[in-house]
A = this chain, B = another copy of it.
């Protein structure tokens, strides 16, 4: 089904829940006025629905060609990519000085959600390029920037992130690829796997960002450096030179994102691929993590986008398909009238909308962390974005899988038939909880780097913000909601986060690791309650102030649905977190003996 960008909801979240006006007062973002942003989102929405969405099923069905190291993308993909570049959608946040649009991260979040939602396999390519841009922009020498940045920003060339090796997946300490110094450059050799858009035919060059070890590098994570390795070398005058000593050995046959080439790349089969060191030796992993933060936010947005598209698809079907009687219509009614179908669609819609708010708020904090002139504000938002990234990445992607699966269920038997299109969302979404760090890795990041390292400071700051929302909710008058009840749900959610944070800080053993994924899910649901509480406040102001529309009524009902159907699960997670760790840690490999 054609994707429709949920622009009304996006603008509501931007303006009323993320303070877009204030963001537009940050230095460098002055052009992001509400009118300008609305116009940009309108255009981006058209591109998503008219250009990217129609190629989504085609890409899934046709997939990729692969022959002698060359990848062929499906018909229409190169043309769509050319349009993306021409319209400047490749890298909306990049600095104007390098040819970017210089948009706030929070506005880019809308654009990325749209493009990922319309066609996840396609948008992975610009997403990876954005990561490469950040690495080069942030850490490379002026010469490297000059050579590579303009064409990466424009999208004339695309970029990749080369981390994984067969023995080095979640554990990057095990990386073995080598980089040997040779004059002004390095000779790179080794094999990288799972390289998204590592080879394709949409641009004349591909710029690989590759993690490898110098000959004298220390073992482990502190001996990894980052290199720029172009597919074609660049001559002095900036034109394409020789083919570098690297090739695509194979592409994977995957459950989903069929049109996104997942490549095995061999570097240095003939002596070594020419690579250029980014920044200092041995700190490559730090650079990679800096750019990974944004990649993780983008994958979180991919989760939101796929969930949105799956929800639209299922809703459309439920409004067309007639079957049996419903509470309101005893004849043959559309199935959206069946209470269980409403429940499924309500879960799909409410969680997607909660995840959207949370993701955009992470992007908002990114803007402040990068642009605020107030050092305290800057630092506070840096803590906030650091805390939220693993939650947004982990929670949005897990719920995108659940949402896509519910979408199939709404379709009944039709959902299982590939032609319907419902199954593609599940197949595509299923990778999002794995790449750019699995949910388990996000969860360890949350409890380790984001809670234990600052002794809960960032988590308890957000608890204070949640309580502020609860207080305002408690103060509301008017009949558009049961305000004390909503306030209670938000303050209860704040208490769950506070208690779990304190529990984590009190442990001395491996208990937090054992239940880390439960912690992440609890944070997602509880922070979602906070986000939805704020959404109710805004919707309520419109409704009570007579500026309410059908959108605000629906938003209020969706908030109530979320509070009643989703938030109770956070209580269960709290019980599990504080009680289940011993039962997990006591399970040993030998206890699975029968199975293996």
Contact = CB atoms under 8 A, between A and B. Distances in A.
Q: How often does this chain occur in the complex, in copies?
A: 2
A19 interface: no
Contacts of A594: 4, 6, 8-9, 551, 554
A439 B572 CA distance: 23
A328 to B, nearest CB: 8
B337 A589 contact: yes
Most interface-central of A319, A510, A550, A592 (chain B CB within 10 A):
A592
Interface in A401-455: 401, 405, 408-409, 412-413, 415-419, 423, 426-427, 430-431, 433-435, 438-440, 443-444
Interface string A553-596: 11001101101110011011101100110111111011111111
Contacts of A323: 167, 169-171, 174
A415 B252 CA distance: 12
A345 interface: yes
A487 B253 CA distance: 49
Nearest to A253: B418
A280 to B, nearest CB: 25
A191 interface: no
Given A583-B346, A584-B561, A550 B409 contact: no
A576 B568 contact: yes
Contacts of A558: 587, 591
Given A311-B595, A315-B592, A592-B315, A440 B338 contact: yes
Interface stretch (A21-29, A81-89, A512-520): A512-520
Given A170-B323, A194-B413, 19 more contacts: A167-B322, A255-B418, A255-B423, A315-B595, A316-B596, A334-B589, A339-B510, A339-B513, A339-B514, A342-B587, A343-B584, A554-B594, A557-B583, A557-B591, A558-B587, A561-B587, A564-B579, A568-B579, A571-B571
Contacts of A8: 594
A464 interface: no
Nearest to A194: B413
Given A345-B592, A585-B339, A438 B412 contact: yes
Nearest to A352: B595
Contact of A592 (B322, B349, B439): B349
B586 A564 contact: no
A341 B254 CA distance: 22
Interface string A341-362: 1111110010000000000000
A312 B596 contact: yes
A327 B564 CA distance: 38
